[in-house]
Structure 1
Amino acid sequence: MIAIGVLAAAIAGVVYLGLERLGSAGFGMAVLRTVGVASLALLLINPAGTMRVPDAPPTVLLDASLSLGAAGGRWREALDTARALAGKDGVMLRFGGRVAASDTTPPEDGSTRLADALRLAHGRPGPVVVVTDGEVEDAGTLEPSLLEGTGVVLVPRHVAPGAALLELAAPGRVGRGDSLALDLTIGTFGPLGARQARVEVALDGRVVARREVELPPAPGTARRRVALGPQRLAPGARWLSVRLVTPGDLEPGDDTRWRWLHVEDQPGVVVLASPADWEFRFLVRELSDIAPGAVRGYALVQSGRWVDMRTLAPVAASAVDEAVAGATVVVTAGARASRAGPRQAVWRWLPGDSTLATLAGDWYVSADVRPSPVAGRLGSGSWDSLPPLVGLVPVVPADAQWVALSARLARRGAERPVLLGWDSAGVRVLTVTGEGLWRWALRGGAAREAYRAMLASGLDWLLEGGRAAGPATVTATEAVPRGTPVAFRFTGDSVPDSLQVSVTDARSTRDLTLLFDAEGSALAWLAPGAYRWSVRDGARAAGVFVVEAYSDEFPPRAVTLAAGSGRLRAALAATYARQRPWLFALVILALAAEWIWRHRRGLP
């Protein structure tokens, strides 16, 4: 702005004092033109400034997370305090998982984040005051500039006696007739006198088991396992509910956890071990960890006699044939998977076939991972540092086959394939030629991770071959805590602006309009319940999700924001040049006076 004023003064001086040579009258007209042009430039650029606002109304941020409404919470007191601080002219905003206008409804947010609310509040003139119980998740990462000029009023909750089901680990998929193991993390708080609690497990609203569990001394946490016998459930998605019943527990919101349990009539992956050596024992164990509930292993112990590799229970040959027929992927020993169907993906482990010659020795896998459909996950492994394979079946890959991993005998000589595959008209076959891969899993650490990476990448590739090609789909988070949005994601190249989704719970069916961002994500805020959803146009996707009645806000947490945090500062407001009427008047007066003066001097 100074440069513009200097330039205007220089031009006016050249015109009036240099070219027209008007003397003192020219100096006066040059001053008028300089003032008029500089003021006009200010109005055109419209720069911003700040000014002190005396007695500006405050902005009050009210914590609306579920912790204030939990047992021992002081929501009514916090609401009254915020109203008193805001007065008649102040502004009240609710914060938690999001920032919204204040109202009198009970708190419903499943998280407590303050940063966005502070940024919004500091954009207004006047002091900023936060009313909270102090259990703020992002308190440790708040910028000092956000806390400066912010007052904090604490209404901490009283710790009430209670027990909470903090975590529930349940398999996402189980086979029909499988047993069910649930891992629970239980927390106790306050002056709780109970030493035992009852766990109730329900499927589709029907209680199927009750178990007594020991509680840890309060305050404390403990892990407990609840095992259920085989459940003869119909295939499909089943609503799993686990409830902790504790005498003297004053907070019911943290006692129940929900999940969807997918029951499959036949496993997606069937492993046929013959013989049932260490290779296949470790293979079944690691595959079951990678794809819980989707893997079933059968071992041939004698001619025509099969056993389940997890329970060692006898299995009829007809049941094995039925499982193989319904599987997407068949993992088997030998060069031929005689039981696999013509359209099923097959993973062959050649060393298990006694009819094939095996080259014994120390075969070290090469560090270089060759380009292949499974190379993505294999690229991070340190393959040349793994224990050597004890043998290898020599295979010459065909032209249509690709090789992902190879090995050399004693790190010398030519490389031979260890993992190779091919895809013919959508039917995928993967082959392992090495013997002794189970030692990678036994060693643990990086060796086991490399083994699991090989299994995961191979299994993903085989399963993708069995999926029917179709239009892009939509996925949804299967379980979210109360007060947290359900995240939908559009998986496709062209992300639509919006999409209609039909959502059904036990009470009603409603239509949601999903508004996707540039990354294909959309959020939906829903009340607690078990939901089934489907895309309305084209039926491109369907699924289930639960919004739990539980929230991490219910169990007591540490106070992370202290009372009086920050120092109140003078209220400042942003102002702009066009908000000053006298500038408009100055432009008109200066330029009009110059024109009148020139006119009286007989100048054009």
Structure 2
Amino acid sequence: MISREGRSSRLKHELIQALLFIALSSALLLYPYWVYRRVELPIASSRWLALIRASVLLILLALLFDLHIPVGDSGNPKGEGWVLLDASISMLAGEDELTPWDRAIERSRELMEEGWKVFTFGEVVNPFSLNEMDLGLSPRDANTLLAPALKYAAEGGMRSVRVLSDLRLQDRVALYATLEELPIDVTYEGFGGNVRNAGISAFEVEDAVLPGSTILSRIEMHGLRADSAELTIRAEGVDVVSLKVDLPEAGLANLLELPIEAPNVEGRIRYTAHLQVDGDVFTSDDEAVAYGIVGNEENALVLISLKPDWEPRHLLSVLGNVTGLPVTGYLRAGPDKFVSLGKALARSTPVDTSRVRSAIDGATLVVLHGLDGSSDSWTLGLLEKSMRAILLPADSSGAAIAGLNTEVSRGGEWYVSGDLPPSPLSGELAGTTFLGLPPLTDLLIPLNKEETRSPMRAQLRGTGASEAVLYLDDSGPNRRVFGLASGFWRWAARKGEGEETYRRLWSGVTGWLFADETSVAREPRPTKWVFQRKEPVTWIVPGDSTIVNLRLLKNDSLLIDTVMIGGTSPSSGMLPPGLYHYRFGGVSGELIGEGRFDVEMISGEMIPPPEEPEGPESAAFTVANDERLERPVRTYPWPYLVAITLLCIEWIIRRRTGLR
């Protein structure tokens, strides 16, 4: 049988552990006597001091080996039994006035009067008292995870526990493995039943290049005792789609891809998806929220790629992360056609040059990739606009058009030197290891090398004279950065050091671009527009040690009024579900940025069916046949108190006998 094999393996493990413990114990017993006999000055009480220190070392060794001691004939004597009370939000789903939570609370009160200790579980395990019951607290956890709670109980010396739950457990695989590993008996008491519910567990909407265009929405739905439901998708409160959808069987989720029409306004649009079914007893998962961009956003980061390459794909996402700006990318596909780049825009229709020019006119940073000698008048017109830019020319002719005279590009493998020259990017690149990174190619060497300020240099095949890789140009009204080599994207494609070096490089570049006094300040914003329930709300605050004021409101009520420091990623902690509006102001009160975000209500709590999990036979065999009812030594307070007391005694005796 599997259980007997598991028991045999456990005995072998314990035998090896015992032999190792005996060997180390012998060494630790001899070591203090050797110290006091050979190292310390000879005193009359040296044997007692050696005994005290050896005792302390043995206690520490027992704690490290996680030794167990017998606790008697019963693993759970009266007054020491544990009750695990489900504190997840699905316990609030009920068809009558008393929810499963209410009935579980009454049952917990009865067990506490009998001497049981109650602990809540869900995402974390916490002790629960009668005082908290009297306060009428309700469940808040968005997940029902029983396996960690059982491990916690086993560490406390419990051999059997009682679980009060609606039995919608989300970690059944981990639970089965835990029961197979731990000698613990679980008794389940179910509350609630097969209630009626239709819910949404995930929702997202694509960005739209043009107002009024067709985009794709994705909704993940689940249901209980319901075959269909009414689905309504709204954009800024206006109905976009309303139809009847089929729901999957209990315990399953169904992903629906639904085309919808984008609003005829530009900007960041708030979409909601609402699922309705008669008799729904759990409303927390009825409505989900998603945000999508329609058209172009003001003060965005716009990337224009004039030829296919891997660089824009990696650079666009990295620049968006390090700047906190909304990003849009366009790849030229014809004389008057551009294909959109970025998140979820693969199905977007091509746009014309006027649309791209409109995006550039409202951008705060422009990245122009692939400029060469064959560029047409429309492309040359972009360079006439005074703008903050990152320029990645394809050849020397493209660099000359942009205002930098270089030699013809040199092929070969150019390895970045680890000796970084002094530059505004030195702080960002400090500690970066360039050794082992893929080489750059097609280097453009400026004709006027003396006036070329570069934060990093490269050598052909890693030897010889070093040449500039980037050129920081602050001679005009707006700062510009020239990329003088190709192949930076290979760094981003290498996980670990290469990916981090790529991010730090462009973080330093954008930091320098926005460091001039005339630049438009980058807006602080949340790290995402929709946070999950019980997820900390974090912020992106660009700048370097700049102090900004955050005012956070919900339903016109001020919740948070605090200050944040630029260059950090502060957090506002976990917020209740709902729609929030934020406003960032400067030291003198000027508006820096404002917007909104959501903390969603939905969860997957109602997807698992209410079924009592089946434990493995090996666990039952172990509990029934294991006569050694034990409790870990580390769960008692006395080992720590004894060790501290003995150390204090040794210290006092040493001082009184003249030892240091």
Q: Does TM-score exceed 0.5, indicating one fold? A: yes
Check 1:220–1:500 CA distance in 2 against 1; reply closer, same or farther (3 A cut). Answer: closer
Structure 1 residue matching 2:258: 3-state secondary structure: strand
Please give the residue correspondences for 1:2-17 in structure 2 after superposition, counting only pairs within 5 Å: none
Verify the 8 A CA contact 2:219 2:255 in the aligned structure 1. Answer: yes
Task: Report the CA distance between 1:550 and its aligned residue.
Answer: 0.4
Check 1:432–1:448 CA distance in 2 against 1; reply closer, same or farther (3 A cut). Answer: farther
2:575 aligned with 1:532, yes or no? no
TM-score relative to the length of structure 2:
0.57
Letter aligned with residue 308 of structure 1: F
Please give the residue correspondences for 1:216-255 in structure 2 after superposition, counting only pairs within 5 Å: 220-221=252-253, 223-233=255-265, 235=267, 238-244=269-275, 252-255=283-286
Provide, for residues 189-245 of structure 1, a one-character-per-residue CA deviation record: whole Å limited to 9, x for no partner.
Answer: 667645xx765321222222347777667654554433444433254x543212346
Task: Report the CA distance between 1:65 and its aligned residue.
Answer: 0.5
Verify the 8 A CA contact 1:184 1:223 in the aligned structure 2. Answer: yes
Letter aligned with residue 188 of structure 2: V
- Structure 1: gaps of 5 or more residues: 1-49, 577-604
Provide, for residues 57-102 of structure 1, a one-character-per-residue CA deviation record: whole Å limited to 9, x for no partner.
Answer: 7664421101323479843443333222122776655443464623
Distance 1:198 1:95 in 2: 34
Q: Which residue of 2 aligns with 1:167?
A: 202
Letter aligned with residue 480 of structure 1: F
Please give the residue correspondences for 1:403-442 in structure 2 after superposition, counting only pairs within 5 Å: 403-404=455-456, 406=458, 408=460, 414-422=465-473, 427-434=478-485
Bigger shift: 428-437 or 112-121? 112-121
Distance 2:522 2:298 in 1: 26
Distance 1:91 1:178 in 2: 60
Q: Which residue of 2 aligns with 1:6?
A: none
Q: Which residue of 1 aligns with 2:330?
A: 297
Structure 2 residue matching 1:383: 3-state secondary structure: coil
Check 1:309–1:353 CA distance in 2 against 1; reply closer, same or farther (3 A cut). Answer: farther
- Structure 2: gaps of 5 or more residues: 1-69, 341-348, 374-378, 401-405, 624-628, 639-660
Distance 2:521 2:208 in 1: 27
Task: Report the CA distance between 1:574 and its aligned residue.
Answer: 8.1
Provide, for residues 133-173 of structure 1, a one-character-per-residue CA deviation record: whole Å limited to 9, x for no partner.
Answer: 452659669999x98888653427656676653333446x7
Provide, for residues 363-408 of structure 1, a one-character-per-residue CA deviation record: whole Å limited to 9, x for no partner.
Answer: 2241656644664898589533x6x74x443325555622446363
Verify the 8 A CA contact 1:176 1:233 in the aligned structure 2. Answer: no
Q: Which residue of 2 aligns with 1:109?
A: 141
Letter aligned with residue 348 of structure 1: L
Bigger shift: 536-545 or 116-125? 116-125
Check 1:224–1:432 CA distance in 2 against 1; reply closer, same or farther (3 A cut). Answer: farther
Distance 2:235 2:446 in 1: 50
Distance 2:495 2:81 in 1: 60
Check 1:105–1:401 CA distance in 2 against 1; reply closer, same or farther (3 A cut). Answer: same
2:113 aligned with 1:79, yes or no? no
Bigger shift: 559-568 or 238-247? 559-568
Match of 1:366 among 415, 422, 437: 415
Verify the 8 A CA contact 2:416 2:456 in the aligned structure 1. Answer: no
Letter aligned with residue 533 of structure 1: Y
Q: Which residue of 2 aligns with 1:184?
A: 218
Task: Report the CA distance between 1:530 and its aligned residue.
Answer: 0.9
Structure 2 residue matching 1:257: 3-state secondary structure: strand
2:606 aligned with 1:554, yes or no? yes
- For these two proteins, the number of residue pairs brought into alignment is 500
Task: Report the CA distance between 1:268 and its aligned residue.
Answer: 1.7
2:342 aligned with 1:307, yes or no? no
Task: Report the CA distance between 1:426 and its aligned residue.
Answer: 9.8
Distance 1:163 1:344 in 2: 51
Distance 1:179 1:463 in 2: 35
2:209 aligned with 1:155, yes or no? no
Task: Report the CA distance between 1:552 and its aligned residue.
Answer: 2.7
Q: Which residue of 2 aligns with 1:327?
A: 363
Verify the 8 A CA contact 2:196 2:224 in the aligned structure 1. Answer: yes
Q: Which residue of 1 aligns with 2:394?
A: 351
Distance 2:239 2:188 in 1: 45
Q: Which residue of 2 aligns with 1:67?
A: 90
Q: Which residue of 2 aligns with 1:131?
A: 164
2:557 aligned with 1:523, yes or no? no
Check 1:326–1:215 CA distance in 2 against 1; reply closer, same or farther (3 A cut). Answer: same
Provide, for residues 258-307 of structure 1, a one-character-per-residue CA deviation record: whole Å limited to 9, x for no partner.
Answer: 1344665446233445xx3324xx555555555496214274955xxx43
Check 1:521–1:392 CA distance in 2 against 1; reply closer, same or farther (3 A cut). Answer: closer
TM-score relative to the length of structure 1:
0.61
State the identity as a percent.
16
Letter aligned with residue 383 of structure 1: L
Verify the 8 A CA contact 1:378 1:457 in the aligned structure 2. Answer: no
Distance 2:522 2:262 in 1: 38
Higher Cα Rg, which structure? 1
Distance 1:349 1:562 in 2: 61
Match of 2:537 among 474, 487, 490: 487
Verify the 8 A CA contact 2:227 2:247 in the aligned structure 1. Answer: no
What is the root-mean-square deviation in Å for CA atoms of aligned residues?
5.9
Q: Which residue of 1 aligns with 2:554?
A: 504
Structure richer in strand, relative to its length: 1
Task: Report the CA distance between 1:445 and its aligned residue.
Answer: 5.9
Distance 2:430 2:216 in 1: 33
Structure 1 residue matching 2:394: 3-state secondary structure: helix
Verify the 8 A CA contact 1:284 1:295 in the aligned structure 2. Answer: no
Distance 2:159 2:612 in 1: 27
2:310 aligned with 1:277, yes or no? no
Verify the 8 A CA contact 1:270 1:296 in the aligned structure 2. Answer: yes
Check 1:58–1:543 CA distance in 2 against 1; reply closer, same or farther (3 A cut). Answer: farther
Please give the residue correspondences for 1:29-48 in structure 2 after superposition, counting only pairs within 5 Å: none
